[in-house]
Amino acid sequence: METKRLAICSTIQQAYMLRDILMNEGINCILTNEAQSMLYPGLNFTSPEIWVEEEDYDEAYAIYQDVINGQADIE
């Protein structure tokens, strides 16, 4: 399985929200730097990242764009 970084999130809460949206859409993803971002919030080298499988990247990126543009249907 080849993965590709989808996003670097500002906060762990933002990362959790994006992860949950992707998972609800059937896209498996990996959240990295979770513990470090909670210990050292605000430092760029510890920002949480979302990674997805390469074959899901285009669909995941479209969802991500909807989220950051406020067009996602978040319930």
CA nearest 6: which of 74, 72, 75, 62? 62
At 50 the pLDDT is 96
- Which range of residues forms the domain containing residue 9? 3-68
Residue-wise pLDDT for 12-54, tens only, equals 889 999 999 999 999 999 998 877 666 666 555 678 999 999 9
Whether residue 75 is predicted with pLDDT greater than 60 in this model: the reply is: no
Tokens of 33: 């730097």
CATH at residue 47 = 3.30.70
**15 in any annotated domain:** yes
Verdict on whether the full-model pTM lies above 0.85: no
Residue 64 half-sphere exposure, CB side, CA atoms within 13 Å?
21
**74 in any annotated domain:** no
Instruction: Identify the band that residue 74 occupies on the pLDDT scale cut at 50, 70 and 90.
Output: low
End-to-end CA distance of the chain: 30
At 45 the pLDDT is 61
